[in-house]
Amino acid sequence: MRHVGRFAPSPTGDLHWGSLLVALGSWLEARAAGGRWLLRIEDVDTLRAVPGAAARQQAQLVALGLIADAPPWVQSARGEAYAQALQRLAQAGHAYPCACTRGDLADHGGVHPSRCVRPVRGDAHAWRLRVPAGITAFDDALQGRFEQNLRQAVGDFVLRRTDGPWAYQLAVVVDDAAAGVTDVVRGADLLDSTPRQILLQRLLGLPTPRYLHLPVLVDATGQKLSKSAGATALPADSARALRVALRLLGQTAAAAAPARDRAALLAHAVKHYDRAGLPRARTLAAPQTDAVEAARTLAAFPDTRNAP
């Protein structure tokens, strides 16, 4: 089956070193396999989405030479598809309405006890997935075997929140299947979301893609870089940013190639892509961007946050 990969940033701020690692990793996997590479704007969580961030991220990707093969999928426009999936799950008895509050669940360690403690009245309720007993496992191409007892670890999880937004877990499964994604490359912070997504794929009769979870970049204090916290900006010199990211991805020969420009560097990296070089770690130390370069980046991508 032809490789279809994707990069799916949440529009909560500018792309940083961690997002570049994932964008470049998924792009290289797709291009080295002669496959397609898609972009998805994960804006289901409308409260966290920063106006203008999606456009800035797309401009950053273009500047880096990481160009998707189709216009981006936008989750905020996909409500109908998520509603159909929820309806199928509910009709098959896999999803149920739930009006329990966070406070109600605190007595159960935050995990839903599978039997609601509060009755459902009217429309003010969430939808949860009824999680069966048993272990859900998968083999990650980089991190190896990963197993989770979903019932114990997360319990019956939310598919749609009381106030309306769709849960990331449902949206990602519906969208990956609709776009024909065969290979998910993303950060290792999402390893423990994968069993929930595999369970949903099974219950919805959807194929399970292959997974490859890259290490998450952490700062000097061990914290994951975060777009919303204004994490280390990428340098404006895209060829330099790509070389640093290639080195982090263990593509040392490609990173050192005497390429004329960004396009030549990327072409070389695809030709010499070496999956065995990828670091088999859950976290990696983020590179430093010096203040002068960060300021240049901000000038190259003017703030559109207040744009209409």
- Given candidates 16, 186, 213, 243, which one binds ligand GLU under the rule CB under 6 A? 186
Angstrom distances, CA of residue 236 to CA of 14, 61, 68, 159, 198: 13, 12, 20, 39, 38
CA distance 232 to 211: 27
13 binds ligand GLU (CB under 6 A): no
How many CB atoms are located within 10 Å of the residue 288 CB? 13
5 binds ligand GLU (CB under 6 A): no
Tokens of 19: 């997002």
Of the pair 197, 289, the CB lying nearest ligand GLU is at 197
271 is catalytic: no
- Given candidates 9, 13, 165, 215, which one binds ligand GLU under the rule CB under 6 A? 9
Question: Site map for ligand GLU, 135-154, x if CB under 6 A?
Answer: --------------------
- Give the nearest distance from C-beta 156 to ligand GLU in angstroms: 21
The secondary structure of residue 155, as a DSSP letter, is B
Angle at 232 between CA 231 and CA 233, to 5 degrees: 105
42 binds ligand GLU (CB under 6 A): yes
Is-contact 168 45, C-beta < 8 A? yes
CA distance 23 to 8: 8
190 binds ligand GLU (CB under 6 A): yes
The count of residues interacting with ligand GLU (CB under 6 A) is 7
- Give the nearest distance from C-beta 73 to ligand GLU in angstroms: 12
Is-contact 251 274, C-beta < 8 A? yes
- Give the nearest distance from C-beta 41 to ligand GLU in angstroms: 9
Catalytic residue among 186, 196, 227, 243: 227
Residues that bind ligand GLU in the complex, under the rule CB under 6 A: 8-10, 42, 172, 186, 190
Please identify every residue annotated as catalytic: 227
